Structure formats: C-alpha cells, structure tokens
Amino acid sequence: MNRLAVLGHPIAHSRSPEIHQDFAQQFGYSIDYQKIDVSPGRLGDQVSELVRSGALGCNITVPYKSEVVALCDHIAPEAQAFGVLNTLKFSDLGSVTGYNTDSAGFMADLLHYGISVTGKRVLLVGAGGAAQGIIDALAQQAPSVIHIWNRSPERAIALAGRLTQTSVSAKIADDLDPGYEVIVNASAAGLSDQVPDLPASIIKNHTQCYDLSYRQDGTPFLHWCDNLGAAMCVDGLGMLIEQAAFAFEIWFGEMPNTQKLRARFDARPLKTASPWRPE
C-alpha cells in the first residue's frame, strides 16, 4: 500500500483523495491517501511523521505552500524560482524533494479551454502562493502585458519585481486598463465569499476570465464577471485535476488520463462564447 496525504488547514473540503484514487485505479495501484489537518506550527512534525511512516510523498495546500520550502532537502529546478511548493516526494533514505505542479496544471487547463495569453493584455489578481506559482508560466507565453493587482499592493510590487520581463508590472485599481483580454483571479477572496475590490471597467465583452478557486455553482468572482458581460468564465476545478495528475506522475512515473475525471467532476465553464461539449 502506497501511503500519500494532503496537508493543509483547513482541509475538509479537499477533493485530492478522490482524484488520486481515480488515478491509482487507472494503473492498478493501491493507495492510502489521507487528508491531514495540520495546525499552525506543526507542519515540520507532520512531514517528518509521514517520512518515518514510509509514505511516498504528499501534497501541500493552503496555508503551507511557502513554509514547506524550508523543510525540503532538494527543490526541483523548475520550482526554484517560485518560493512555493505543492508536492513532496520522499526517497527511501528519507530525503524530501519539493515540486510545484500548480503551474503545469494551470497551463494544461488554459490549453484545455483554448485560452491563449500570447500577445494578450492579461490581469493577474492576487500575489499569494498561487499567483507566485503561475506567473512565470504566464510570462513565458509572451502576453503583451501582465498587470498584477493585489489587495496589499506591496506584495504585487514584490511579485512583479521578481520577473525580468518589462511587460510585467504591479498596478493599483485606479491604473488598471479597460477591458483586459484575459483576467486570472489567483486571490483567495472567494473562500470568504468575496469578490476582489476591482473596477467594473476591467471587463468587456471580449474578456476571458479564469478563477483558480472553484465552486459547483460558480465562484463569486465568476458571477461578477458574468454579470459584467465577460466572454468566458472558467473556474479552477480543471486545474485541480491537472495539477494532481502531474503530482501523480512525480510519485509513480506514470501520467494519468484526466478526461474521464474532468467529466465526472463536471469541470466546465460557467459561461463560454461557444457551446461547451464535455469529452
């Protein structure tokens, strides 16, 4: 039995166990994947306990994606710039390697929905762990600009400063452009049923809106975008499935098929300009 877990606080809402059970079944593996609610200050003890128990690895979620960096013996090269990790793999000798699969999962989901940022004006909302994890991948697609807005402006400035591309800059609400082509909400506002305090002018009828948060009845941010006439409104459920597939590949060396699970979880846009046909 391969022991795995997701560590976070709170953690009850996590769908990771279901997702990884589905992937394991695809390859005939037997896994024991637990949700572990880790109280503040106990992350190191919990990771050590998993390593001692012979676990294969674990996922790390809010609020521990930054804190976990200090617990790793090695960090995968592609995750070194992020400062946030969401997947750990334990070696037989007990060393811990950290990875970030959020970025690859996010890009896979954009591709799935046909959202391209190349040459587009992009607004990234938020500057926390998720935004840090996806901004490099966004910038690599060569959008014409990436503006970053965050509730605490100093974090947006720090995040923009990490990138070398001159097209990336931090903005306050008054300086945002009208009608971005793509808006990515990587804030956690939806977790408290809120919408980031942004001007309605950022949305026009060509705007494609992506919210990393997900909710069966649509997130508050996506409902706000929809009401303002956005062209497309997609939540992060597909990203959750895709990032999990990359984590599974790190642990087992096999890439699961995500299409059936996407259909079973009903991962589809809240709104799209063209009729949506699930696979």
Active site (catalytic) residues: 65
Residue 129 binds ligand NDP, judged by CB under 6 A: yes
For ligand NDP, which residue has the nearest CB? 128
Separation between Cα atoms, residue 123 and residue 196, nearest integer Å: 13
Residues 85/79, Cβ–Cβ less than 8 Å = yes
The token duo for 66 is: 């930054």
Residue 159 binds ligand NDP, judged by CB under 6 A: no
Residue 22 binds ligand NDP, judged by CB under 6 A: no
Residue 268 binds ligand NDP, judged by CB under 6 A: no
- Binding map of ligand NDP across residues 136-155, x = CB under 6 A, - = no contact: --------------xxx--x
> Least separation, in Å, of the C-beta of 83 and ligand NDP?
11
Of the candidate residues 225, 239, 247, 267, the single one contacting ligand NDP (CB under 6 A)? 239
Separation between Cα atoms, residue 50 and residue 39, nearest integer Å: 15
Output the CA torsion 11→17→18→19 (10° steps): 110
Cα–chain-centroid distance for residue 13?
15
Please identify, using beta-carbon distances, which residue of 9 and 206 lies nearer to ligand NDP. 9
Please identify, using beta-carbon distances, which residue of 214 and 224 lies nearer to ligand NDP. 214
Please identify, using beta-carbon distances, which residue of 16 and 97 lies nearer to ligand NDP. 16
Find the part of the chain contacting ligand NDP (CB under 6 A) among 87-95, 165-173, 192-200, 201-209: 192-200
Cα–chain-centroid distance for residue 42?
24
Report the interface residues with ligand NDP, using CB under 6 A: 62-63, 65, 102, 105, 126-131, 150-152, 155, 186-192, 194, 196, 212-214, 236, 239-240, 243
